[in-house]
């Protein structure tokens, strides 16, 4: 029986590259999307035409009912989920004093509560099967904090400590929980960052790179492999050395 992965926010960027990677590795792929229906359907059609078993499911990860429905549909189609990638996320740059209550709540709803919703929906079956991998997408800003992104950094810090706590709780159930904390990755999320600032980041990065989403997808995939079965509760930081902690 083929393994199955569910990736949140897989219509674009890192999530999309991750869906493509797992598909190439022979997984059944569940593509979650929220607003980018055309992009999700385009990805779905490409995966189906290359022989991957895949479905695309619309759900706002912050909405518990929609997430429950998504998992019901996923289990109905594939019977099990071996790997959950909590990737869906939003970001913006705002001075802390200008962040509205609504903005603060929304970023936590998507980045943190979305992960909470998906983990609670996937875990009953993973625990009863004593098997599973959860990979949460954090950020280097969750490790060291970013100016004008206090709200985003706080959500990513929460993802990191949640990952560590859950790894301890679920280890005896043979479920591995890890986080991937990238630096700058060339996706829509950083489309507003000027070329000059990106050059500065590249210059200050020991490996002199801005990561491609495919490179982050490779790291996410590695964390699903049998060979990494001793790695849990860790934060993998593929930032080219931009942040070394």
Residues involved in catalysis = 152
Q: Measure the CA–CA gap between 184 and 199, rounded to whole angstroms.
A: 11
Q: How far apart are CA 237 and CA 245, in angstroms?
A: 9
Residue 44 as a binder of ligand NAP (CB under 6 A): the answer is: no
Task: Provide, rounded to whole angstroms, the least separation between the CB of residue 154 and ligand NAP.
Answer: 12
183-to-54, 131, 141, 216 alpha-carbon distances in Å:
29, 30, 8, 10
- Helix or strand holding residue 230 (H, E): none
Interface with ligand NAP, residue 196, by CB under 6 A: no
Q: Which is nearer to ligand NAP, 106 or 174 (CB)?
A: 106
**Binding residue (CB under 6 A) for ligand NAP from 41, 48, 190, 222:** 190
Lay out the site mask for ligand NAP across 144-183 (x = CB under 6 A, - = otherwise): --------------------------------------x-
Closest separation in Å from C-beta 109 to ligand NAP = 8
Number of residues located near ligand NAP, criterion CB under 6 A: 30
Residue 126 sits in the site that holds ligand NAP (CB under 6 A): no
- Angle, helix 13-24 to helix 37-49, in steps of 10 degrees: 10
Dihedral (C-alpha) 194, 195, 199, 200: value to the nearest 10 degrees?
-20
Radius of gyration of the chain (CA): 17
CB 142 within 8 A of CB 160: yes
- With contacts defined by CB under 6 A, name the span among 22-30, 31-39, 160-168, 199-207 that binds ligand NAP: 31-39
User: Judged by CB under 6 A, does residue 137 bind ligand NAP?
Assistant: yes
Q: Does 89 bind ligand NAP (CB under 6 A)?
A: yes
Q: How many residues are listed for the chain in this entry? A: 245
Give the residues lining the site for ligand NAP (CB under 6 A).
Answer: 8-9, 11-15, 32-36, 60-62, 87-91, 110, 137, 139, 182, 184-185, 187-190
């Amino acid at each position: 029986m083929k393994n199955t992965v569910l990736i949140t926010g897989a219509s674009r960027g890192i999530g999309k590259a991750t869906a493509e990677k797992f598909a190439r590795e022979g997984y059944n792929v569940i593509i979650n999307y929220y607003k980018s229906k055309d992009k999700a359907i385009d990805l779905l059609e490409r995966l189906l035409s290359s022989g991957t078993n895949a479905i695309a499911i619309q759900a706002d990860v912050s909405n518990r009912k929609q997430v429950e429905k998504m998992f019901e549909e996923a289990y109905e189609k594939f019977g099990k989920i071996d790997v959950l990638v909590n990737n869906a996320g939003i970001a913006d740059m705002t001075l802390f004093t200008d962040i509205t209550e609504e903005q603060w709540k929304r970023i936590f709803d998507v980045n943190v509560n979305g992960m909470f919703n998906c983990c609670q929906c996937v875990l009953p079956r993973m625990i009863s099967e004593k098997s599973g991998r959860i990979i949460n997408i954090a950020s280097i800003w969750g490790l060291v904090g970013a100016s004008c992104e206090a709200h985003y950094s706080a959500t990513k810090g929460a993802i990191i400590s949640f990952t560590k706590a859950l790894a301890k709780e679920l280890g005896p159930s043979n479920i591995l929980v890890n986080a991937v904390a990238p630096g700058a990755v060339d996706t829509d999320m950083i489309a507003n960052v000027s070329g000059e600032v990106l050059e500065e980041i590249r210059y200050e990065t020991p490996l002199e790179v801005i990561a491609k989403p495919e490179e982050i997808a490779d790291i996410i995939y590695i964390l699903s492999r049998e060979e990494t079965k001793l790695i849990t509760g860790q934060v993998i930081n593929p930032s080219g050395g931009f942040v070394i902690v």
